[in-house]
Amino acid sequence: MDWTDVTITVPQKDCDAAAAIAQMVVPYGLYIEDYSDLEEGAREIAHIDLIDEDLLKKDRTHAVIHVYLEPQDNPDEALAFLSERLNAAGIPFATDTAACRTEDWINNWRKYFHPIEVGKKLLIQPSWEDPADPHGRTVLHLEPGLAFGTGTHETTRLCMEMLEDFVKPGAQVLDVGCGSGILSVAALLLGATTAVGVDIDPLAVKTAAENAQRNGVGERFTAICGSLTEGVEGVYDVVVANIVADIVMDLTKDVGRFLKPGGVYLMSGIIDAREPDVLNALSGRYEVIRRAEERGWVALAAKAI
């Protein structure tokens, strides 16, 4: 079975941000070559001092991110998506593709994705797993396909935990960069009346609509294929954006016209080093009312001043 190995080479300092963007293309994991701390890692993890000479010759200034695409997926679409997101984030990059023959990557990844409790109210149930005992939690049935958002990533969990606090019964929610639709579906299961999900990737839009149907909330969910708020109308009680810092800042310039008075703007996908930049973009227009952090990822909740 021929898969496609898409490689993205970026400066080492941009590796985390680029990996977060690459994760939007595939939900089943990435392979990252980063040799910047080779000696230290060898000592601390493998407890060895002797390192292969070929490894010592590796480029320490750049990281290479590998994304594996299934045979039926179009590499050109993935490259276009990655190029757009990386350019928007201001990350220098080079891409390449190669054919590879391997085991079924999705099924292999699925072995490690089990039901996950998120926050105080939700249980994410993979569609291929036997039903778990929810212990009183609301079950969110998920089949992410190739769209970003499984609940395993810190950025998604932080958003879902904030949705628990800020989505009130009857709320209307806008999910910008909806990916698998996990946040939209979560909001609807938490009591929102309607949710609109927008994503630039047609496959993500299709997946999000299917996940809404899978959870019995399809009639209350609208999926739009577009960039950021393209094609969006109306105003919302909650706008959530789990993307990357630069795109969050870009969205911040325009998001106010989609917020009801007193509405809440939830942001995630922000690496801690970029938090000051996001706060600067919010300054003078929004007041941060909640902050959460996990493993170097930051989520913010804000209201218009």
Kindly report the pTM of this predicted structure.
0.68
For residue 39, the tally of other CB atoms under 10 A from its CB is 13
Structure tokens at 245: 């810092």
CA distance 26 to 31: 11
Listed by start position, the domains of the chain span: 2-108, 152-304
For residue 131, the model assigns a pLDDT of 82
When mean pLDDT is compared over 29-43, 132-146, 252-266, the highest value belongs to 252-266
DSSP 111-179: TT---EEETTTEEEEETTSPPP--TTPEEEEE--TTSS--S-SHHHHHHHHHHHHH--TT-EEEEET-T
CATH superfamily of 2-108: ACT domain (3.30.70.260)
Tokens representing 49 are 């001092």
Portion of the chain with pLDDT greater than 70, in percent: 86
pLDDT of residue 101: 57
Cα angle at 204 between 221 and 236, to 5 degrees?
A: 35
CA distance 124 to 215: 11
Sheet of 138-142: strand order equals 116-118, 122-126, 138-142
pLDDT digits (tens, 9 = 90+) for 105-137: 455 556 657 788 999 999 999 888 888 889 899
Closest listed residue to residue 240, CA positions, set 140, 148, 172, 287: 172
Summarize pLDDT for 182-209 with one digit per residue, the tens. 999 999 999 999 999 999 888 889 999 9
Residue 301 has pLDDT above 80, yes or no: yes
pLDDT over threshold 90, residue 163: yes
**Full strand arrangement of the beta sheet holding 221-225:** 221-225, 194-199, 172-176, 236-242, 259-271, 297-304, 286-294
Are 125 and 141 in contact by the 8 Å Cβ rule? The answer is yes
C-alpha to C-alpha distance for 178 and 295, rounded to whole angstroms: 22
Question: What is the identity of the amino acid at 291?
Answer: R
The CATH number of domain 152-304, selected from 3.20.20.70, 3.40.50.300, 3.30.720.200, 3.40.50.150: 3.40.50.150
Residue with tokens 């291929």: 128
Q: How would residue 77 be classed by pLDDT, with cut points 50, 70 and 90?
A: confident
Cβ-contact 264, 282 below 8 angstroms: no
pLDDT (tens digit per residue) in 10-55: 999 999 999 989 888 876 667 888 877 654 543 343 333 434 455 4
According to the model, what pLDDT value does residue 74 have? 77
Per CATH, 2-108 and 152-304 having the same topology is answered: no
